[in-house]
Amino acid sequence: MKHAIAKNTDTAPRFWRDNALPFIEARAIADGREVCYARHSHEHFSIGAITAGRSTYVNERSAFEVSTGTVVLMNPGDVHACNPIDDQPWSYRMLYVDTPWLTELQHQSGFSEQLDFRRFELTHSTDTRLFEGLNRLYETLVDEQVDTLEKHSVVVAFFSEVQQQLNPAGETLREANLKLERAADYIREHCTLALKLEDICQAADLSASYLIRAFKQHYGMTPHAFLVNRRIQFATAQLRRGKLIADVALEAGFADQAHFQRAFKQHLAATPGQYRG
Q: CA 195 to CA 119: how far, in whole Å?
A: 33
List of E strands, 60-209: 62-67, 71-74, 80-84, 91-97, 124-125
What is the CATH classification number for the domain harbouring 246? 1.10.10.60
75 and 96 housed in the same domain: yes
Query: Global pTM?
Result: 0.76
Q: CA 242 to CA 244: how far, in whole Å?
A: 7
The whole domain housing 187 covers 174-277
Examine the fold and report which residue of 104, 133, 166 is the final residue of a domain before the chain moves on: 166
161 and 178 housed in the same domain: no
Phi, psi of 18 (to 5 degrees): -145, 120
Q: CA 72 to CA 26: how far, in whole Å?
A: 14
Per-residue pLDDT, 65: 94
Q: pLDDT digit string (tens) for 160-214?
A: 999 888 887 544 444 457 889 899 999 999 999 999 999 999 999 999 998 998 8
Examine the fold and report which residue of 146, 166, 186 is the final residue of a domain before the chain moves on: 166
pLDDT band, residue 108 (cuts 50/70/90): confident
Beta bridge partners of 73: 47
206 and 264 housed in the same domain: yes
Examine the fold and report which residue of 138, 166, 194 is the final residue of a domain before the chain moves on: 166
Range of lowest pLDDT (31-45, 64-78, 129-143): 31-45
User: What is the number of domains present in the chain?
Assistant: 2
Task: Give, as one character, the DSSP assignment of residue 66.
Answer: E
Per-residue pLDDT, 3: 42
182 and 143 housed in the same domain: no
162 and 80 housed in the same domain: yes
